[in-house]
Structure 1
Amino acid sequence: MRAFDARTGDIPDGSGGTLPALVQKTRHGHTFVLDRRTGEPIRKVEELPVPQDVAPRDRLSPTQPFSTKMPCLGREVLTEADMWGAPRLTSFIAGSLSRNCAMTVL
């Protein structure tokens, strides 16, 4: 991870200078770091095959760009144990009700 100047968007070039950069996040969690002057990737981007099972008459590119040297955020598989809010609240309420009902029955 490299720090960048949020005011200018410049990132260190590794030799004492800076590069004008654009950092673009995608809805799929990819982070692309591009040279603002040329649009060329500063961090590695690869064209990788993507699934082609689509609706009839849809046309897709056989490949899509993937930023392979930057972290992909938001692609983790979540389980109920990872979640907060309703599932935990539901478990807590269910547990409380069963304890209270058991006590009432006795």
Structure 2
Amino acid sequence: MNHDTKSPQRTGLDTPAALLWTSAFLIMAMILTQAARLGAGSPALAGNVATIGDLTVLTADAGDSEDILMVLDRRTETLLIYGARDRRDVELHQTYDLSRVFSDARGASGLGRRP
């Protein structure tokens, strides 16, 4: 008796997942572009990245004596953008609800809701 237990092999990333990954990278690029404008149009250059538990922290130099701090909280699916001028005052510039961002991207792409 011959039992063939081979399961079908996936040969690549399916289209909805590829679209979501692409939109995630585009959103991050847009965030970095907007963060650069906070520094009088200077390009944002990536600094240090650290992951601690559910938090990922990225620093970037926005030029003109301003640094950008991005905090990704995977538990709450939130991205927080902070700015620090002259390495003294830190203030929250923007908050993104990533579940809403991805939901809006799915709706805009015509893929609809996640199962």
Tell me the TM-score range normalised by the shorter chain: 0.3 to 0.5
Higher strand share: 2
Which has more radius of gyration?
Answer: 1
Higher helix share: 2
The alignment's TM-score, normalised by the length of structure 2, stands at 0.32
